[in-house]
Amino acid sequence: MRKYLNFSYCLLLALLCFVYQGQAQDIKVSAKLDKTTIALGDQTVLRLSVVSPLKTLVTFPVLGDTVSSKVQIVEIGKIDTLADQNNPSVHTLNRQYTITSFEAGLHMIPALAFETKDGKLTTEALPLEVNEVKVDTTKAIYDIKQPLVVSYSFMDWLKDNWYWVLSGIVALLLLAGLAYYLKKRKIETPEVQKAKEPKVPLHVSTINRLNALKEKKFWQMGQVKEYYVELSDILREYLEKRYGVKALEQTSDEILSSTKELEIGEQSRNQLRQILILADLVKFAKGIPQSSDNEQSMENAVSFVMATKETGVVTDNKANDELV
């Protein structure tokens, strides 16, 4: 009798393990792309699916604005639930992710993990090929068509603008009458000379802007991108006004190439290069610099402006104090 009970107990445990294993195996996850090859900047859809028994909690992967370093997410759709007509105890959960890439090459969509109460289930990695857009140079370039000439006479213009013409004549008559009245009464109006405000030197105004940016404490609050966008814009505007370089319209490489023809020392050029390259890394590659790099960028910006300021500019003590 005791052997029979032991055998029954073992058989029950084996049956429970079989049922548990069967439920785990019933959960299936998958990922696929609508298009595995796209043009630069084009979009495709990444579809994630999970097939699981009803009342089984499965959590989709948590994705931000990127799938990988070179593949961005444009839009994340809602989770759709589909019932299985052949097996009412099973349903399918689907979710769509509209993705794109702005860098040519073969990129891998990494394996994505679904969370279940028993652990993680991962999809297979998927390749995504991004091709550059080719320009068809065989097609001819046509001239812009000339605008159509519409006949519009002076009388037509007068009919459309008679109110303004009449108002102008009345205004001229009033001004003439006022001038005659003032002249007749010999009223002399003393000229009031407005004191011209001293023009703030370019390097002083630029340093003031850098100090204002420093006071905003962007990178200390996690707004690193905003910090480098404003920092690079301040230096680009300084270069335009100081040297006439179209820095606001140029890339960082074009700016650095332009400075080779200017009277800028090698140390100052290296300081400018450090700021522009790090700013591009933050703005376009979502880099996260160290705190020391952020402080060094501000110090290099101030040093660059002071080293390249226009010579012969006289500033008062108040302006000099603001450069600290």
pLDDT score of 170: 92
The one-letter amino acid at 73: I
Q: What's CA 74's distance to the chain center, in Å?
A: 13
CB 204 within 8 A of CB 316: no
Q: Where are the domains of the chain?
A: 26-131, 154-185, 202-321
Using CA atoms, how far apart are residues 222 and 237, in angstroms rounded to an integer? 25
Which among 282, 286, 279, 218 is positioned nearest to 64, based on CA atoms? 286
Residues contacting 66, CB < 8 A, separation 6+:
72, 73, 286
Class for the domain spanning 26-131: mainly beta
- Consecutive H or E run containing 80: strand 80-83
> Would you call 141 helix, strand, or coil by DSSP?
coil
- CA dist 240 and 244 (Å) reads 5
Return the sign of the alpha-carbon dihedral for residues 8, 14, 15, 20: positive
Name the residue with tokens 């990988």.
Answer: 68
78 HSE (CA, 13 A, CB side): 3
Write phi, then psi, for 82 (nearest 5 degrees).
-120, 130
Q: Which amino acid is at 120?
A: K
Q: Is the pTM of this model over 0.85?
A: no
Q: Which amino acid is at 115?
A: E
Gap between the Cα atoms of 87 and 51, Å rounded: 11
What b/e readout covers 3-26, taking b as 16+ CB neighbours within 10 angstroms? eeeeeeeeeeeeeeeeeeeeeeee
What whole-number distance in Å separates Cα of residue 211 and Cα of residue 299?
Answer: 11
Give, to the nearest 10 degrees, the angle between helix 224-243 and helix 252-259. Answer: 30
Helix (H, G, I), strand (E, B) or coil at 298: helix
Residue 33 gets the label, from left (phi > 0), alpha (psi -120 to 50) or beta, of beta
**pLDDT of the residue at 153:** 83
The one-digit pLDDT tens for each residue of the chain (324 residues) are 454 444 454 444 444 444 444 444 589 999 999 999 999 999 999 999 999 998 889 999 999 899 999 999 999 999 999 888 888 889 999 999 999 999 999 999 999 999 999 899 999 999 999 999 877 667 766 677 777 767 778 888 888 888 898 899 999 999 999 988 888 886 554 544 445 567 899 999 999 999 999 999 999 999 999 999 999 999 999 999 999 988 889 898 988 888 888 888 899 999 999 999 999 998 888 888 999 998 999 999 999 999 999 886 555 444 444 444
Neighbours of 205 (CB within 10 A): 18
Contact 48, 31 (CB under 8 A): yes
Q: Which residues sit opposite 120 in a β-bridge?
A: 115
Among residues 125, 123, 126, 119, the alpha carbon closest in space to that of 37 is found at 126
For the chain, how are helix, strand and coil distributed in percent, rounded to 5?
45, 20, 35
Predicted local distance difference test score (pLDDT) of residue 85 = 85
Nearest to 105 by CA among 40, 195, 198, 19: 40
The residues that bridge with 58 in the sheet, in sequence order, are 116
DSSP 8-class letter at 112:
-
Q: What is the pLDDT of residue 305?
A: 94
Please give the span between the terminal C-alpha atoms of the chain, in angstroms, as a whole number. Answer: 95
